[in-house]
A = this chain, B = another copy of it.
Amino acid sequence: MQLADAIAARIFEVTRTARVSLHEPRLTGKELTYVADCIESGWVSSVGSYVDRFERELAAYTGAAHAVVVSNGTSGLQIALKLVGVETGDEVLIPALSFVATANAVSHCGAIPHFVDSEYASLGLSAPALDAYLADIAEVRGGECFNRRTGRRIAAVVPMHTFGHPVDMPALQALAERYAIEIVEDAAESLGSWIGDRHTGNFSRCAMLSFNGNKIVTTGGGGAIITNDAALAKRAKHLTTTAKVPHAWAFHHDEVGYNFRMPNLNAALGCAQLERIDGFLTAKRELTLRYASAFRDLPEVSLFVEREGTRANYWLQTLLLAPHLADQRDAVLAATNAAGQMTRPVWELLPTLPMYRDCEAMPLPIAQDLARRIINLPSSPHLVEAAP
């Protein structure tokens, strides 16, 4: 197949590697030094100096006042939703086009996902489409938003910054305020992504980050809740560490808590990774330019680039097939993967999964179109020789 082969050849032009994965961590800084320090000191578990340090450094990097590290992004989002008041039986607005964890975190709160369409500009949740939809189905009573069709409260909206491309947060903030809906940013993919001079995650009362193995900075598995609200940060730490009340020896817990701690061993890895994030980001921008150059003579595809006013981390490089070629996506995936160049489609739309099929959803024409056309390309920082 001509187009598929042309794409595979151009990816290889950039990667110059026979077998290349989608995204690999790069652990060639002080990762081993810090982890060895944990093992030699015996501090590998749920408290330790690297936990405190990683929290401080994440706060400093993102510009949030507080960061609370947790076991992973899903757990972080579940707790963040609870912190802003999401309760059993509430609806939470989330993008139809997201990783399944966004919906699972809502579900783990006992709440119900309600799916929102995307916009082409950011690949994320569309504030204008949501606005028009809410005008139709929502009503605000007593300072809370209700879905007129289901009678359920709409407690929160979760914008997800797809592949590191920021959602239009000022538009969403205005909308959420009008409808009395809390925002929790799913910034799992957007560490190092900015809107103007404000880091993603600072446009809501609290937000979640992820440090899974495939992310721009990894702790093996891990996540964080960031916030500018001191009381909320304190409660995030309390809830994620079994809600134990401090005491010299007594084991008293004052609410149903969680064991969502990040071990010191993993935080040590995170500290070393975060030291090098600027280099990773530079490498990823360079990689974007190389793909842009490689694909410039192929009008059947376009490389997705950051929109004006934002700075993306380019976590995953993204190719969009021309609309009339969407039916060739699987052939492209087959050819590129067969050629050793790992590519991936975007996630199946969440409302098509069996467990979310019966949830409410607005019309999803753009999410459906994007889901057919997105192809992610090999994106590891080490594909650029200057990477740290």
Q: Does A325 contact B (CB under 8 A)?
A: no
Q: Does A100 contact B (CB under 8 A)?
A: yes
Query: Of residues A26, A74, A244, A346, which shows the largest number of chain B Cβ atoms within 10 Å of its Cβ?
Result: A74
Least CB distance from A52 to B in Å reads: 16
Q: Does A257 contact B (CB under 8 A)?
A: yes
Q: For chain A, which range describes its interface: under 10, 10 to 19, 20 to 34, or 35 or more residues?
A: 35 or more
Q: Does A242 contact B (CB under 8 A)?
A: yes
Q: Which of A162-170, A191-199, A211-219 contacts B (4 or more CB under 8 A)?
A: A211-219
Q: Which of A35-43, A139-147, A224-232, A309-317 contacts B (4 or more CB under 8 A)?
A: A35-43
- Are A251 and B44 in contact, with the CB atoms below 8 A? no
- Are B45 and A214 in contact, with the CB atoms below 8 A? yes
In the complex where A42-B27, A221-B71 touch, is A100 in contact with B251 (Cβ < 8 A)?
Answer: yes
- Are B333 and A249 in contact, with the CB atoms below 8 A? yes
In the complex where A44-B213, A212-B45, A347-B251 touch, is A104 in contact with B266 (Cβ < 8 A)?
Answer: no
Least CB distance from A7 to B in Å reads: 14
Residues of B within 8 A of A24 (CB): 42
Q: Does A369 contact B (CB under 8 A)?
A: no
Q: Given B221, B256, B347, which contacts A263 in the complex, CB threshold below 8 Å?
A: B221
Please encode chain A, from 328 to 361, with 1 for each CB lying within 8 Å of some chain B CB and 0 for all others: 0000010001000001111110000111000000
Residues of B within 8 A of A269 (CB): 39, 44, 265
Q: Given B212, B266, B337, which contacts A248 in the complex, CB threshold below 8 Å?
A: B337
Q: Does A255 contact B (CB under 8 A)?
A: yes
- Are A45 and B71 in contact, with the CB atoms below 8 A? no
Q: Does A107 contact B (CB under 8 A)?
A: yes
- Are A250 and B36 in contact, with the CB atoms below 8 A? no
Please encode chain A, from 19 to 41, with 1 for each CB lying within 8 Å of some chain B CB and 0 for all others: 00000111100011001100110
Restricting to A268-282, which residues have a CB under 8 Å from any CB of B? 269
In the complex where A27-B39, A337-B248 touch, is A255 in contact with B45 (Cβ < 8 A)?
Answer: no
Q: Does A178 contact B (CB under 8 A)?
A: no
CA distance A218 to B42 in the complex (A): 11
Residues of B within 8 A of A354 (CB): 254-255
Q: Does A388 contact B (CB under 8 A)?
A: no
Least CB distance from A315 to B in Å reads: 15
Residues of B within 8 A of A348 (CB): 250-252
In the complex where A27-B42, A249-B344, A354-B254 touch, is A261 in contact with B221 (Cβ < 8 A)?
Answer: yes
Residues of B within 8 A of A73 (CB): 259
Least CB distance from A194 to B in Å reads: 26
Residues of B within 8 A of A251 (CB): 99-100, 344-348
Query: Of residues A45, A46, A353, which shows the largest number of chain B Cβ atoms within 10 Å of its Cβ?
Result: A45
Instruction: Supply 24 A–B pairs (Cβ within 8 Å), ascending by A.
Output: A32-B39, A35-B36, A39-B269, A44-B213, A44-B218, A45-B213, A45-B214, A46-B221, A71-B221, A101-B242, A104-B257, A104-B258, A108-B258, A220-B263, A221-B259, A221-B261, A249-B337, A250-B345, A250-B348, A251-B348, A253-B355, A254-B353, A256-B355, A265-B266
12 additional contacts, CB 8 Å, given A74-B259, A104-B258, A251-B345?
A26-B42, A35-B39, A35-B265, A71-B71, A99-B251, A100-B257, A220-B263, A220-B264, A251-B347, A253-B353, A255-B354, A256-B355
